[in-house]
Amino acid sequence: MKVLIIEDNQELARNIHDFLGREGYICETSETLEGAKEKLGFFQYDCILLDIGLPDGNGISLLNLIRAEHKESNVLIISAKNALDDKIIGLEKGADDYITKPFHLAELHARIRAVYRRKNLGGASIVEFNEISLNTDTFEARINDTLLDTTPKEFDLLLYFLVNKNRVLSRQAIAAHLWGDYTDNLANFDFVYQHVKNLRRKISGAGGMDYISTVYGLGYKFNSHKQE
Amino acid sequence: MRLTTKFTLWYFGIMLVVLLIGGAIVYYEIQWKISRVEVVRHQRLNDIIAQQIRQGGDYTEHPTRKRATITPIPEDSVPVGVASFYTRGTGWNPEFQANEYKLVVTSFYTINGSHYRITTYSFIPSFYQLLPGVVDSFKWILLLLLVLVVISGGLISKYILAPFKRTMRMIQSFDLKQKASIHLPRTRTSEFRELNEFLTKMTDKAREDYQSLKEFTENASHELQTPTAIIRGKLDLLMESDIRDEQAILIAEMQNALERLSRIHSSLTLLTKLENKEYEAKEPVCISRLMREALSAFAELMEMKSLTLQTDIEDKIYVPLHASLADLLLSNLVSNAIRHNAPVTNQNLIFVSLNREGLVIANTGREPQVPTTELFERFKKGNPGSDSIGIGLAIVRQICDLSHFDINYEFRSGLHIVAISFQPRLSASKLLQNLSLPLQSTLQP
């Protein structure tokens, strides 16, 4: 997947670049609107990460250009302003999703995948890994052909793990993914633990391999290389 | 009281005083004038009589002598320097057989070396007889003036105050958030012009302050969130490198602190935005639907904590609230009720009642260590050891204040009860009295 990161903060751009790079994505970065326009003139991208506040203008102004000439690209707005207006205008102008700083990189990745699935695969979207298959339309999770009896949160969690395979997912990142930003609640970690425990139990119960392991002190990891 | 009415009343009061004084002046003026004219007439008559004496001859039957008395007087009784004087007083009028007002004019003459005192008199209208006439005419004048003042007061004030009323309308529709400066109508009245200038200046200042505050909030948000995002990303990346266990613990602690920082920051930013009234309800939102959504979003958490949920939610309750705020309000309340839940008599309960009047959420829990009203303050926590940052209820209260909802929090027999009244006149504590599900009986001993 080719990704264009339009972000004026080099450190943040590099974080995203490094993280997505490890997924095998080809990432290019631009710090300004002008640079982004230039790049967009030459290349096609699967996904464009667009920061709103850029030194030479508002990122939203770029949306028109993107929508006119890059219909296939997914646009994900990155904004530090959790301003409702930006969100609504951004989505109205054709952005596909909106993420607010400070985000977890795994969350960003999950959003990129979700937008990509919605747009590029069309129709039934199945996320598969070995014996696990998730249907993101019907919210059905299967191990081989056995239907897993997952709750919506567990489904969400499993999808999050599958998208971020072999990554350490911190409890904070998982909590933020499952419950959003405004849960003024760090005790949610107990619930993260509960959810992960239940999910692992259900997968094993259906004959799936227990890919999810605890990473000491930090969180959890979906280990795709796990062999029995 | 309306300005016009006030003006009219004041004018009327002033008119009354002026007319009373004027009436007195007119009364005394007429009285004096009548006397004066009569005195002059009698002096002339006395002069004529003196002339007749000087010429000699018999004038006894002459009409001039009808009310005249001619008395020769010795020289030493002639007053010095006074040619004539007059006296007034009541006297008997034999012609009309009544006591009437009598004017007597006495003049002194020296004719052919002898001294005479000539006295003539007449009856003039009593001043008391004039009084009703004066009062009557002033009554009519007063009435006429009153009618004119009332009518013209209404018309003129409508005309004169028109620019003021236009200004008022403009100010009422003034919105801090508007981009353009207010445009007040021109007026030739200097006071209104000054007022308009002042208002324009003031609203411009308010708008600028609001804008800069908003910009500051947004900049602060932007400038702080970006470094936080960088640190978070670096930690995410660091986690995936080859690290030892003790390093992992350090990273986890950093993640925790960072999480806290970011939550505190976004909550404070949100509170500022609420105070700036940036979220205005454009249309009523169906809170019944949102309540059900919030409950189902937390259903799994409740199940994990084995909480029993009792609901009594009426359908199609609409309240004037921004949808995002309604969502925030409900999820804050529900998550609080879950988080601070502790069993009372072996039961973990959450109770939700929603109807047209308001919302009541109650949960079993430990007794708070600070008064419940203080829990609405920022960074106040009922349980100091808890992991929350203690800003959720402050946000809830801010949303309620913004929407003119009354909110009440009390702790009663093991239950934390938060009540929100949607109706401005209904106190939230009243809601507890007519709940369809009696709270106390749900807690079986």
A95, A121, A147: which is the final residue of a domain? A121
Please indicate whether, in this complex, the C-beta atoms of B233 and A82 are within 8 angstroms of each other. no
Please check whether residue A16 lies inside any domain of the structure. Answer: yes
A121, A148, A183: which is the final residue of a domain? A121
Of B239, B331, B339, the CB nearest to A170: B239
Mention every residue, 6+ apart, whose C-beta is less than 8 A from residue B108.
B73, B78, B79, B82, B83, B84, B115, B116, B117, B118
Nearest CA in chain B to A8: B226
d(CA A79, CA A53): 7
pLDDT in tens, B186-231: 888 898 899 999 999 999 999 999 888 878 877 777 678 888 889 9
Please check whether residue A228 lies inside any domain of the structure. Answer: no
Please indicate whether, in this complex, the C-beta atoms of B236 and A82 are within 8 angstroms of each other. no
pLDDT above 90 covers a percentage of chain A that reads 32
A78 strand-pairing partners: A51, A99
Q: pLDDT value at position A94?
A: 82
Judged against a pLDDT cut of 80, whether residue A159 lies above it is answered with yes
Of A9, A182, A187, the CB nearest to B226: A9
A50 strand-pairing partners: A6, A77
Q: pLDDT value at position A197?
A: 92
d(CA B152, CA B15): 15
Interface test with B, best of A87, A109, A185, A216 (most B CBs within 10 A): A185
d(CA A75, CA A78): 10
- The domains of chain B, with CATH numbers, are 3-148 (3.30.450), 190-275 (1.10.287), 285-442 (3.30.565.10)
Domain holding A197, by residue range, is 126-222
The tokens for A216 are: 């000491």
My answer on whether A101 and A163 are in the same domain is no
My answer on whether A30 and A102 are in the same domain is yes
A contacts of B300 (beta carbons < 8 Å): 151-153, 191, 195
Closest CA of chain B from A43, distance in Å? 27
pLDDT in tens, B32-49: 888 889 899 999 999 999
Query: Which CATH number belongs to the domain containing residue A142 in this structure?
Result: 1.10.10.10
Nearest CA in chain B to A108: B233
The tokens for A149 are: 């009896």
pLDDT in tens, B379-416: 766 665 555 667 788 888 888 888 888 998 888 878 88
Task: Summarize the confidence of residues A214-227 as an average pLDDT.
Answer: 86
A contacts of B269 (beta carbons < 8 Å): 82
Mention every residue, 6+ apart, whose C-beta is less than 8 A from residue A18.
B237
B contacts of A167 (beta carbons < 8 Å): 240
- Which residue shows structure tokens 């009696």? B438
Judged against a pLDDT cut of 90, whether residue A157 lies above it is answered with yes
Query: Which CATH number belongs to the domain containing residue A92 in this structure?
Result: 3.40.50.2300
The tokens for B63 are: 């009409």
Dihedral in degrees, nearest 10, Cα atoms B434, B436, B440, B445 = 160
**A140-143/A132-135 β-pairing:** antiparallel
Contact by Cβ (8 Å): B362, B351: yes
d(CA B395, CA A142): 41
Contact by Cβ (8 Å): B233, A12: yes
My answer on whether A117 and A139 are in the same domain is no
My answer on whether A107 and A140 are in the same domain is no
Please indicate whether, in this complex, the C-beta atoms of B236 and A105 are within 8 angstroms of each other. yes
Nearest CA in chain A to B240: A168
Please check whether residue A82 lies inside any domain of the structure. Answer: yes
Please indicate whether, in this complex, the C-beta atoms of A170 and B236 are within 8 angstroms of each other. yes
A contacts of B252 (beta carbons < 8 Å): 170-171, 217-219
Q: pLDDT value at position B384?
A: 57
A contacts of B392 (beta carbons < 8 Å): 184
A contacts of B221 (beta carbons < 8 Å): 80-82
Q: Does A10 touch chain B (CB under 8 A)?
A: no
Q: Please state the φ and ψ torsions of residue A76, each to the nearest 5 degrees.
A: -120, 120
Judged against a pLDDT cut of 90, whether residue A14 lies above it is answered with yes
Closest CA of chain B from A10, distance in Å? 10
A contacts of B331 (beta carbons < 8 Å): 182-183
Q: pLDDT value at position B424?
A: 78
Please indicate whether, in this complex, the C-beta atoms of B331 and A84 are within 8 angstroms of each other. no
Interface test with A, best of B215, B225, B232 (most A CBs within 10 A): B232
Please check whether residue A168 lies inside any domain of the structure. Answer: yes
Of A19, A103, A182, the CB nearest to B237: A19
Reported ipTM: the value is: 0.84
A contacts of B234 (beta carbons < 8 Å): 11, 15
Radius of gyration of chain B (CA): 48
**A-to-B residue pairs, Cβ atoms closer than 8 angstroms:** 133
Is the backbone peptide bond immediately before A102 cis, with ω within 30 degrees of 0? yes
Q: Please state the φ and ψ torsions of residue B84, each to the nearest 5 degrees.
A: -160, 160
Contact by Cβ (8 Å): A134, A159: yes
My answer on whether A22 and A86 are in the same domain is yes
B contacts of A17 (beta carbons < 8 Å): none
Report DSSP letters for B334-350, one per residue. Answer: HHHHHHT---BTTB-EE
Please indicate whether, in this complex, the C-beta atoms of A15 and B237 are within 8 angstroms of each other. yes
Task: Summarize the confidence of residues B332-341 as an average pLDDT.
Answer: 85
DSSP H or E run through A61: helix A60-69
Interface test with B, best of A218, A220, A222 (most B CBs within 10 A): A218
Please check whether residue A227 lies inside any domain of the structure. Answer: no
Judged against a pLDDT cut of 70, whether residue A156 lies above it is answered with yes
My answer on whether A92 and A135 are in the same domain is no
Nearest CA in chain B to A52: B222
Q: Does A213 touch chain B (CB under 8 A)?
A: no
Radius of gyration of chain A (CA): 18
Q: pLDDT value at position B444?
A: 47
DSSP state of B320: S
Please indicate whether, in this complex, the C-beta atoms of A84 and B237 are within 8 angstroms of each other. no
Task: Summarize the confidence of residues B131-137 as an average pLDDT.
Answer: 86
Top pLDDT among B176 and A46 is at A46
My answer on whether A24 and A78 are in the same domain is yes
- Which residue shows structure tokens 């004087």? B85
> From the CB of residue B190, how many other CB atoms can be counted at a distance below 10 Å?
8
d(CA B311, CA B337): 13
Please indicate whether, in this complex, the C-beta atoms of B251 and A217 are within 8 angstroms of each other. yes
My answer on whether A9 and A117 are in the same domain is yes
Q: What is the mean pLDDT of chain B?
A: 84
Provide the sign of the torsion angle of the four alpha carbons B215, B217, B223, B226, taken in this order. negative
Nearest CA in chain B to A83: B218
Helices A171-179 and A105-116, axial angle in degrees (round to 10):
40
My answer on whether A104 and A189 are in the same domain is no
Residue window 41-60, chain A: list those with CB within 8 Å of chain B: 53
Cα atoms in the Cβ-side hemisphere of radius 13 Å centred on B269: 24
My answer on whether A152 and A112 are in the same domain is no
B420 strand-pairing partners: B359, B407
pLDDT in tens, A22-59: 889 999 999 999 999 999 888 889 999 998 878 888 88
A75, A106, A121: which is the final residue of a domain? A121
d(CA A87, CA A78): 10
B contacts of A80 (beta carbons < 8 Å): 221-223, 225-226, 229
Judged against a pLDDT cut of 60, whether residue A204 lies above it is answered with yes
- Starting at the edge strand found earlier in the chain, the sheet holding B358-364 runs B308-313, B349-354, B358-364, B415-421, B406-412
Mention every residue, 6+ apart, whose C-beta is less than 8 A from residue A137.
A124, A125
- Band (B181; pLDDT cuts 50, 70, 90): confident
Q: pLDDT value at position B291?
A: 93
My answer on whether A55 and A142 are in the same domain is no
Closest CA of chain A from B286, distance in Å? 20
d(CA B303, CA B299): 6
Report DSSP letters for A95-119, one per residue. Answer: -SEEEESS--HHHHHHHHHHHHIII
Instruction: Identify how many contiguous H helices and E strands chain A contains and give both numbers.
Output: 8, 14
Residue window 143-162, chain A: list those with CB within 8 Å of chain B: 151-153
Nearest CA in chain B to A198: B304
My answer on whether A98 and A183 are in the same domain is no
d(CA A208, CA A130): 9
Q: Tell me the range of A157-161, B124-128, B137-141 where mean pLDDT is highest.
A: A157-161
Please indicate whether, in this complex, the C-beta atoms of B222 and A151 are within 8 angstroms of each other. no
Nearest CA in chain A to B324: A84
Mention every residue, 6+ apart, whose C-beta is less than 8 A from residue A200.
A210, A212
**Structural domain total, chain A:** 2
According to the 3-state scheme, what is the secondary structure of B168-196?
HHHHHCCCCCCCCCCCCCCCCCHHHHHHH
d(CA B386, CA B372): 16
